[in-house]
């Protein structure tokens, strides 16, 4: 195969990218998007601040543009993200307790209902675990509504869009460590109690290397009975091409690793643009990392 999407499809997987609605008029960008990728994630346009800027007032125009561009070009869409402690609208940042609980579950219900039947997988909850050695939840106004906020969100998402796979998504969980083990224990608990969860996303914002135990980490989650996906891949540093190959191989070695998404197209599109962490140069040329991925798929 000669494109990332076609190469990934050889093993039944997808290869995706984050897309920004504001770049859909850039012909170089759209040309690479349409040629190389068969899955799309809205980089910001489906987040809480974008979709519900005022309480109860929903705006889907930018998210819909991305979804419609993707679908009309034969791509699928990952929904990102229903609940996250960052990019909350100001009104939600100022809320707490049962009011916030009601508002956040309504948000999940409304957004998942708007996109019902059109989303391959939703990141229902993003980045709810703490960094460091605790293995516990991160403090946030969402967490302070009660430890069961995550399962309540998953149940609301399932009710609103029964066809979408429901994912938990986080960073620094790519290898086996205290944080990923905390997520692992939550997923195991959810599966044992019948809380609806179908997949775990590993952001994989990396520098120079993939964790040496990345495959083993993906496999232990898969063994719980969930799909796993690399959801926001970007890799800085001089060992970039090798590290991209290693992440690709880690996913391919795990049957339930269903696909990989890079977090942008050209280095200049990246939220880490100073680190040039993506597969295409600012002018749209394929980098050595691109060839390393294509060879590994």
> Which C-beta is closer to ligand XIL: that of 233 or that of 250?
233
- In the complex with ligand XIL, which residue's Cβ is closer, 43 or 227? 43
Chain residues that interact with ligand XIL, rule: CB under 6 A: 43-44, 126, 203, 232, 271
The span from the CA of 290 to the CA of 286, in Å, is 6
Minimum separation from the CB atom of position 95 to ligand XIL (A)? 21
Tokens of residue 19, six digits: 């897309």
* 87 vs 291, beta carbon nearer ligand XIL: 87
The alpha carbon dihedral of 32, 38, 41, 42 has a sign of positive
Least separation in angstroms between CB 97 and ligand XIL = 25
Do 256 and 222 form a contact (C-beta atoms < 8 A)? Answer: yes
Shortest distance in whole angstroms from residue 268 CB to ligand XIL: 13
Residue among 227 and 232 whose Cβ is closer to ligand XIL:
232
Q: Residue 90: is it exposed, middle or buried by C-beta count within 10 angstroms (0-12/13-18/19+)?
A: exposed
Report whether 176 contacts 213 (CB < 8 A): yes
Q: Specify whether the CB–CB gap between 237 and 23 falls below 8 A.
A: no
Q: Which residue's Cβ has the minimum distance to ligand XIL?
A: 271
Is 232 one of the catalytic residues?
Answer: yes
Compute the distance between CA of residue 288 and CA of residue 190 in angstroms, rounded to an integer.
Answer: 41
Q: How near is the Cβ of 9 to ligand XIL at its closest, in Å?
A: 25
Q: Which is nearer to ligand XIL, 69 or 126 (CB)?
A: 126
Q: Report residue 148 as tokens.
A: 């069961």
Q: Which of 45, 88, 151, 232 is catalytic?
A: 232
Return the structure tokens found at 223: 């063994």
Structure tokens at 40: 């799309």
Cα dihedral 67, 71, 72, 74, rounded to 10, equals 150
Smallest distance, ligand XIL to C-beta of residue 271, A:
3
Other CB atoms within a 10 A radius of the CB of residue 208 amount to: 12
69-74 long-range contacts (CB < 8 A, ≥24 apart) are: 69/19, 69/24, 69/30, 69/40, 70/19, 70/40, 71/118, 73/33, 73/34, 74/38
- Under DSSP, the state recorded for 273 is G
- Taking the least distance from each CB to ligand XIL, the nearer of 205 and 294 is 205
Give dist(CA 62, CA 68) in Å, integer. Answer: 10
Shortest Å, Cβ 170 to ligand XIL = 8
Active site residues: 232
């Amino acid at each position: 195969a000669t494109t990332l999407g076609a190469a990934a499809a050889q093993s039944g997987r997808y290869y995706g990218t984050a897309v920004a609605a504001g770049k859909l008029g850039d012909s170089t960008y759209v040309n690479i998007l349409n040629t190389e990728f068969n899955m799309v994630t809205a980089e910001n346009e489906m987040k809480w601040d974008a979709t519900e800027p005022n309480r109860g007032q929903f705006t889907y125009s930018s998210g819909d543009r991305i979804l419609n561009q993707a679908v009309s070009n034969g791509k699928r869409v990952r929904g990102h993200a229903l609940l996250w402690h960052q990019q909350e609208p100001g009104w939600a940042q100022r809320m707490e307790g049962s009011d916030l609980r009601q508002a956040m579950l309504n948000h999940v219900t409304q957004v998942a209902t708007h996109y019902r039947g059109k989303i391959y997988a939703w990141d229902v909850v993003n980045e709810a675990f703490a960094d460091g050695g605790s293995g516990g939840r991160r403090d946030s106004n969402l967490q302070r509504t009660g430890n069961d906020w995550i399962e309540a969100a998953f149940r609301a998402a399932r009710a609103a869009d029964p066809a979408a796979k429901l994912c938990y998504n986080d960073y620094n969980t790519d290898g086996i460590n205290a944080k990923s083990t905390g997520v692992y224990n939550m997923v195991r608990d959810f599966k044992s109690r019948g809380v609806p969860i179908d997949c775990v996303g590993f952001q994989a914002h990396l520098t120079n290397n993939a964790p040496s135990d990345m495959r083993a980490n993906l496999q232990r989650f898969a063994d719980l009975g969930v799909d796993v996906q690399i959801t926001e891949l970007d890799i800085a540093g001089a060992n970039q091409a090798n590290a991209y190959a290693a992440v690709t191989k880690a996913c391919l070695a795990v049957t339930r690793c269903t696909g990989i998404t890079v977090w942008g197209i050209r280095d200049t599109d990246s939220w880490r643009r100073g680190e040039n962490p993506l597969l295409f140069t600012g002018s749209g040329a394929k980098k050595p990392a691109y060839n390393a991925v294509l060879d590994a798929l």
